[in-house]
C-alpha cells in the first residue's frame, strides 16, 4: 500500500489545525512549507521550537523540508546570496525533524532560459548538499525553468550527483506544457524519484490552467499510480493540490483530492 502524506498548508497554515485534520483523514506523513504564514526556514527560534514540539507530540513523520531555495530571479545576485543562506538554514533545520531531504527549484521561469547560467548557479547548492550529506529534492514546477520531463533530463544529464534527486510532480509537468506526464514523462525520469507530489488540472478553452481534485483533471493518475506500484516505489505520495473547493474551502478541496486519490488506489490494488 502507498504511503500518503500532505503538505500541511494545503490544509491550513495553522500547523495545529493542519495536523489535526490530517490525522483525522488517516494520514501520517507531512511536509513543512508555510507555517503560520512563513516558510519553515524563515521562522524564528521560538516558533521553530514550538513546531518541533507540535510535530513530535503528533507522531507525524516529516518527509522533507519544503525550502524555497532558488525560487528567485536568475539575474539577481543579491537575491541568490540570500537563497544560499536560506538553503543553509534548511539544512540546519532538516535533522531536527529527522529528515535529510530539502527542496530545490530552478529560478523563476524565463522565456529563453540560459541553461549554462542556470546550471552554473545550481552548482553551489549541489556542492553544499554533497558536503553536508543532504539530499536536494528538486521539484519540477511550471513557474520555474525546469518543469517538464525533457527539462529534467537536461538537468540530470548535466549534474551527476547522488545528492540531487527528484520530487516528481506530474500535475506540475502537465501545467508546464507536458501533454502526457505519464507515461512519457515518468518513464524518462523515474530512476531519479525520491518523493512524489500530486495535483490535477485542466486547461480551459482560453488556455487557462485550472487546478482540479485528483481524478477530475487530465493527468493519468491511474496509469501513474499503477506504474509506481509496478516499480516498487517506496517513498511518500504527498497531496500538494492547490485546489480549493467550490465553497471556497481549502480543507474541502484537499479532502476531495484525497478521496479521488484513494478511489484510484483502491481501484488498482
7 beta partners: 31
Strands (E), the chain: 3-7, 29-32, 34-35, 38-39, 61-69, 101-104, 135-139, 164-168, 193-198, 200-203, 209-212, 236-239
Are 86 and 49 contacting, i.e. CB atoms less than 8 angstroms apart? no
Mean pLDDT of the chain: 98
108 beta partners: 144
| pLDDT higher than threshold 90 for residue 158 | yes
| pLDDT higher than threshold 90 for residue 1 | no
Is 32 part of any domain?
yes
CATH number at residue 78: 3.20.20.150
64, three cell numbers: 522533507
Angle between helices 45-58 and 15-24 (to 10 degrees): 10
Confidence of residue 85 (pLDDT cuts 50, 70, 90): very high
| pLDDT higher than threshold 90 for residue 160 | yes
Specify burial of residue 5 (Cβ count, 10 A radius: 0-12, 13-18, 19+): buried
C-alpha span between 29 and 55 (Å, rounded): 11
Share of the chain above pLDDT 70, in %: 100
Q: What domain range includes position 169?
A: 3-199
Tell me how many domains the chain contains: 1
Is 39 part of any domain?
yes
Q: Is the peptide bond before 179 cis (omega within 30 degrees of 0)?
A: no
| pLDDT higher than threshold 90 for residue 171 | yes
Q: Quick check: pTM over 0.85?
A: yes
Rounded average pLDDT over 172-201: 98
| pLDDT higher than threshold 90 for residue 269 | no
Q: pLDDT digits over 210-267, tens only?
A: 999 999 999 999 999 999 999 999 999 999 999 999 999 999 999 999 999 999 999 9
95, three cell numbers: 535533522
Is 222 part of any domain?
no
Q: pLDDT digits over 32-75, tens only?
A: 999 999 999 999 999 999 999 999 999 999 999 999 999 999 99
173, three cell numbers: 509537468
Is 29 part of any domain?
yes
Are 6 and 238 contacting, i.e. CB atoms less than 8 angstroms apart? yes
Is 128 part of any domain?
yes
Are 175 and 143 contacting, i.e. CB atoms less than 8 angstroms apart? no
Residue 5, SS3 per DSSP: strand
pLDDT score at 15? 99
Counting every residue written for the chain, the total comes to 269
Cα–Cα–Cα angle for 261, 264, 269, nearest 5°?
A: 120
Is 92 part of any domain?
yes
Is 94 part of any domain?
yes
Rounded to the nearest angstrom, the gap between the alpha carbon of residue 32 and the centroid of all alpha carbons in its chain is 10
CA atoms within 13 A on the CB side of 260: 22
Residue 30, SS3 per DSSP: strand
Specify burial of residue 154 (Cβ count, 10 A radius: 0-12, 13-18, 19+): middle
Is 19 part of any domain?
yes
Are 163 and 126 contacting, i.e. CB atoms less than 8 angstroms apart? yes
Amino acid at each position: 500500500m502507498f504511503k500518503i502524506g500532505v503538505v500541511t498548508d494545503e490544509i491550513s497554515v495553522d500547523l495545529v489545525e493542519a495536523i489535526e485534520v490530517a490525522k483525522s483523514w488517516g494520514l501520517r506523513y507531512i511536509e513543512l512549507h508555510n507555517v503560520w504564514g512563513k516558510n519553515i526556514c524563515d521562522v524564528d527560534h521560538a516558533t521553530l521550537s514550538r513546531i518541533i514540539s507540535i510535530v513530535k507530540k503528533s507522531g507525524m513523520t516529516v518527509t522533507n523540508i519544503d525550502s524555497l531555495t532558488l525560487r528567485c530571479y536568475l539575474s539577481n545576485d543579491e537575491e541568490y546570496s540570500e537563497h544560499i543562506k536560506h538553503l543553509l538554514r534548511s539544512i540546519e533545520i532538516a535533522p531536527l525533524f529527522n529528515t535529510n531531504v530539502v527542496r530545490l527549484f530552478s529560478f523563476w521561469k524565463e522565456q529563453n532560459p540560459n541553461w549554462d547560467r542556470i546550471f552554473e548557479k545550481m552548482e553551489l547548492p549541489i556542492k553544499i548538499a554533497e558536503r553536508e550529506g543532504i539530499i536536494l529534492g528538486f521539484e519540477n514546477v511550471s513557474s520555474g525553468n525546469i518543469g517538464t520531463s525533457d527539462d529534467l533530463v537536461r538537468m540530470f544529464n548535466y549534474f551527476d550527483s547522488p545528492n540531487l534527486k527528484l520530487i516528481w510532480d506530474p500535475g506540475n509537468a502537465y501545467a508546464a506544457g507536458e501533454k502526457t506526464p505519464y507515461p512519457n514523462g515518468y518513464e524518462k525520469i523515474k530512476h531519479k524519484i525520491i518523493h512524489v507530489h500530486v495535483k490535477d488540472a485542466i486547461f480551459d478553452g482560453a488556455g487557462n490552467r485550472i487546478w482540479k481534485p485528483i481524478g477530475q483533471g487530465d493527468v493519468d493518475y491511474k496509469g501513474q499510480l499503477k506504474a509506481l506500484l509496478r516499480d516498487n516505489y517506496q517513498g511518500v505520495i504527498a497531496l500538494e493540490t492547490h485546489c480549493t473547493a467550490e465553497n471556497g474551502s481549502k480543507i474541502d478541496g484537499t479532502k476531495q483530492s484525497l478521496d479521488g486519490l484513494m478511489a484510484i488506489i483502491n481501484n488498482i490494488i
